[in-house]
Amino acid sequence: MHLPSRSMPRAFYVLLAVQFVSTLADNAFLIVAIARVMELAGADWRIPLLKIGFTLFYVLLAPLVGPLADAYPKGRVMVLSNAFKVFAMMLLLYGVDPLLAIVVAGWGAALYAPAKYGLMTELLPPGDLVRANGFFEGATVCAVIFGTVVGGFLISPLMPVMQWPESWSWLGTADTALLAGMLMLLSMNTLAMLVCFAIPDSGARYDPHSIHPIALAVRFWRENILLWRDDVGGMSMSVTTLLWGVGATLQLVVLRWAHEALNLPLDKAAYLQGVTALGVVAGAIAASRYIALDRAVRLLPLGLLLGLVIPLMLLVESIPVAAALMVGVGAMAGFFVVPMNALLQHRGYTLLTAGRSIAVQGFNENAGMLVMLAVYAGATALQLDLNTLVLGFAALVTVGMVMVCTAYRGQWLPARIA
């Protein structure tokens, strides 16, 4: 079924532009931070810690960021969050440990998430959310593609090796071959912050409530329970929590696979990682055009295919076949996750508020990411081989989706989403 097309408000496209620039900078930042760890001769297990550090504040600040996003115009919150990322890039530029720098960037990203997704639910009616999520995830994944490609370029031999003039020695920046790339990253983060000033106020206002830590924690716990106990909310959050956790880990697994199986250096492995996102764009666009919100639950069994396809990467020995496989995996993920994400956003907005529901969603999804990344860091420290890692994560996706399909089998039939 082809869904009728309606034009989105101008404010949505401004938000889309901010999301693209910010995500582009985030993904380039991760590649440059990995290269900096390698330049400093850091242990391999420190690489997944970078992703853990970026994700940490999504979980720790979850009770606060939702009320904060609802307490102020969300454009202002997004300016503040991107200012944190600018500061993080400055820390990296001045030689601070890349793990600390990326933790600061994660702090900003944690503030940013409920503001951007909450603003989307305020700007658009429920019937447009799947299509808007298709646009949003398409733009996000395009930014991931270009971000990883840009990150690979920023650490490649094609990037000039820069040094400050001696007269600028007072700046005290790090002695690194990545200086030019770091300056480019600083410019991108600054641009993302400036674009946020163009975000209009949706006009939505919410009743204030206490910001006392205990009151916030208790209220956040109750909001979690409310969303998990809801049939539709619990089902969609189970799926997105599982897949975001595995997806974040597979991002690092793909880098290792490209290096070990295809003999690609980090800068070229980053390009292959970006190719995966091309499929997500195609899947997201298809979902936005053909999947209505009240039919999203029918896609639940599709998640099983992801776990069955992932092990095929172990049979691949050529780069073209590897790229085709990654596009296929990305397409399935995009077609499946986008409607589930829209379903969860709408249900959360119905039960709670825009900012608070996104904070609950972010807490659970990023907690899943932290657990999976910690497992990957431990497996790397134990020097488990690549085949064991890939098969283990594929089995986790398959078993997890079987459990979700079984637990929520009553949701497969078409249902009216209230």
Q: How far is CA 277 from CA 108, 111, 138, in A?
A: 24, 24, 9
Q: Is 352 exposed, middle or buried (0-12, 13-18, 19+ CB in 10 A)?
A: buried
**pLDDT for position 7:** 61
* DSSP state letter for 61: T
Residue 305 has pLDDT above 90, yes or no: no
Q: Which two tokens stand for residue 34?
A: 């990995």
Q: What share of the chain in percent tops pLDDT 70?
A: 83
Q: Is 168 exposed, middle or buried (0-12, 13-18, 19+ CB in 10 A)?
A: exposed
**105-160 pLDDT per residue, tens:** 988 888 887 787 777 777 777 667 767 777 776 777 678 777 878 888 888 777 76
**Using 50, 70 and 90 to split pLDDT, how confident is the model at 278?**
confident
Between these two residues, 36 and 163, which has the higher pLDDT value? Answer: 36
Q: Which two tokens stand for residue 182?
A: 């770091």
Q: Find the helix packing angle between 46-60 and 62-71, rounded to 10°.
A: 50
**Using 50, 70 and 90 to split pLDDT, how confident is the model at 83?**
very high
Residue 169 has pLDDT above 50, yes or no: no
Kindly state the average pLDDT of the residues 41-67. Answer: 78
Residue 186 has pLDDT above 60, yes or no: yes
**pLDDT for position 4:** 44
Residue among 262, 292, 278 nearest 332 (CA): 278
How far apart are the C-alpha atoms of 15 and 27, rounded to whole Å? 18
**pLDDT for position 170:** 42
**333-376 pLDDT per residue, tens:** 777 777 777 777 777 777 876 667 777 887 888 888 888 888 88
- What's the length of the chain? 418
Q: How many CB atoms sit inside 10 A of residue 81's CB?
A: 27
Ranges 169-173, 192-196, 371-375: which has the least confidence = 169-173
Kindly state the average pLDDT of the residues 323-339. Answer: 80
Residue among 95, 68, 103, 109 nearest 193 (CA): 109
**Using 50, 70 and 90 to split pLDDT, how confident is the model at 85?**
very high
Averaged confidence pLDDT in the chain: 78
**Using 50, 70 and 90 to split pLDDT, how confident is the model at 46?**
confident
CATH number of 10-196+213-411: 1.20.1250.20
The one-letter amino acid at 403: M
Between these two residues, 9 and 329, which has the higher pLDDT value? Answer: 329
How far apart are the C-alpha atoms of 389 and 382, rounded to whole Å? 11
